[in-house]
Amino acid sequence: MKRRFPTALGAAGLTALLLLGLTALPAADDPPLFSDWSAAVNLGPIVNSSSTEACPTISKSGLSLFFRSGRPGGVGGQDVYVSQRDTLEDPWGPALNLGPTVNSQFNEYCTALSPDEHWMVFVSDKTEGSCGLQDMWITHRRNKRDDFGWEPPVNLGCVVNSTGHDNAPRYFENEETGELVMYFAGSRPGGPGQGDIWVVPLLLDKKNRFGTPSLVTEASTVYLDSHPLVRKDGLEFFLVSNRPGGVGGQDIWAATRESMADPWSAFLNLGPLVNSPSADYRPTLSHDGMTLIFASERPGGYGSSDLYVTTRSRLRD
């Protein structure tokens, strides 16, 4: 791994650093930032059901887990639920339906929380007010700690949404510049594959005003690419793909980069401890980057699709 000194440092500046004893600059053989991911574990029957659980989104605090489920007793087919816990050491509590303000008689799917957690984008195939087969909608809450205080949702509009399927939204904020964008997956025209990764900027520092989507070329292939997720520091990019070299039909892959100015590395499969011969998809990452929760259709679960968790440890700062 090549390390570059800032050009403003120069030979004299480097000599001064050495004279001061400041020689602990990154070396080419630096160890990885994180360990490998652990073997994935089912979240259990309190969260999972005999139906379908997928599309998890974990809050910054790690105390709320939003996901979709088709379990009985909902408002429509697939609904958005939340499971809560009091501390990070506690198990997840029972799944609670977000109610008819968010959920409808149609299907509601993947969610995304804005960085301030006052806004949530989610996916629905409701027909009234929609642009295509599957659209993204946005809702607001005044109290970010109230998981049931969501206001009536609004469609993101037919510039962001297309006539096809738009899905799997995820916010990302550049902490250096304050720029806020949203990644998502879609089958709109202009991409190379069956489904591609797109990014759209948010406008005027608003959490509910979006610009025009553009293709993320580094993440999109001729295959089916979906469920983008960028780590909060912008140095790791997860996605789901059926591209060759995987463990199963749909796998979770990840790319890294040394800085926000660098290009992404090649996407690497997370391997058989995380992925399975079945479909594995829609990851969500904890705020510290060490816990990954995702959906899987592997055998041995409680329903047709369950939520699983894998962890890693930090090896260096």
The structural domain count of the chain equals 1
CB atoms within 10 A of CB 186: 25
In a domain, 231, yes or no: yes
In a domain, 16, yes or no: no
Q: Which residues have a Cβ under 8 Å from the Cβ of 195 and sit 6 or more positions away?
A: 165, 185, 186, 187, 224, 225, 226
pTM: 0.89
In a domain, 13, yes or no: no
Residue 29 has a pLDDT of 56
Q: Residue 204's pLDDT band (boundaries 50, 70, 90)?
A: confident
Percent of the chain whose predicted confidence (pLDDT) is above 70: 90
Dist. CA 193–CA 113, nearest whole Å: 27
Mean pLDDT of the chain: 90
CB atoms within 10 A of CB 113: 21
Percent of the chain whose predicted confidence (pLDDT) is above 90: 85
For residue 126, give both structure tokens. Answer: 């409701």
**Closest C-alpha among 279, 256, 264, 272 to residue 310:** 272
Q: How far apart are the first and last CA of the chain?
A: 17
Q: Residue 291's pLDDT band (boundaries 50, 70, 90)?
A: very high
Dist. CA 142–CA 157, nearest whole Å: 23
Check whether 13 has a pLDDT greater than 60: no
In a domain, 297, yes or no: yes
- The three-state secondary structure class of 116 is coil
* Cα R_g (the chain), whole angstroms: 20
Domain enclosing residue 173, as ranges: 31-311
Pairing assessment for the beta strands 251-256 and 268-269 based on DSSP bridges: antiparallel
Dist. CA 256–CA 266, nearest whole Å: 8
Taking phi first (over 0 means left), then psi (-120 to 50 degrees means alpha), and beta for anything else, what does residue 45 get? alpha
Average the pLDDT over 200-214 and give the result: 87
Check whether 52 has a pLDDT greater than 60: yes
Residue 32 has a pLDDT of 78
Q: Residue 7's pLDDT band (boundaries 50, 70, 90)?
A: very low
Q: What is the distance, to the nearest Å, from the Cα of residue 29 to the centroid of all Cα atoms in its chain? A: 30
In a domain, 127, yes or no: yes
Q: Is the model more confident about 98 or about 28?
A: 98
Average the pLDDT over 94-116 and give the result: 97
For residue 240, give both structure tokens. Answer: 């789901």
Check whether 317 has a pLDDT greater than 80: no
Question: Residue 86 maps to which CATH number?
Answer: 2.115.10.20
Residue 206 has a pLDDT of 67
Q: Residue 205's pLDDT band (boundaries 50, 70, 90)?
A: low
Average the pLDDT over 143-161 and give the result: 97
Q: Residue 159's pLDDT band (boundaries 50, 70, 90)?
A: very high
Check whether 114 has a pLDDT greater than 80: yes
Q: Residue 12's pLDDT band (boundaries 50, 70, 90)?
A: very low
For residue 95, give both structure tokens. Answer: 């799944």
In a domain, 254, yes or no: yes
Tokens 């930090």, residue? 314
Residue 316 has a pLDDT of 82
Weakest-pLDDT range from 14-28, 60-74, 224-238:
14-28
In a domain, 18, yes or no: no
Dist. CA 216–CA 230, nearest whole Å: 12
Q: Which residues have a Cβ under 8 Å from the Cβ of 61 and sit 6 or more positions away?
A: 287
In a domain, 17, yes or no: no
- The three-state secondary structure class of 17 is helix
Residue 50 has a pLDDT of 97
Residue 207 has a pLDDT of 72
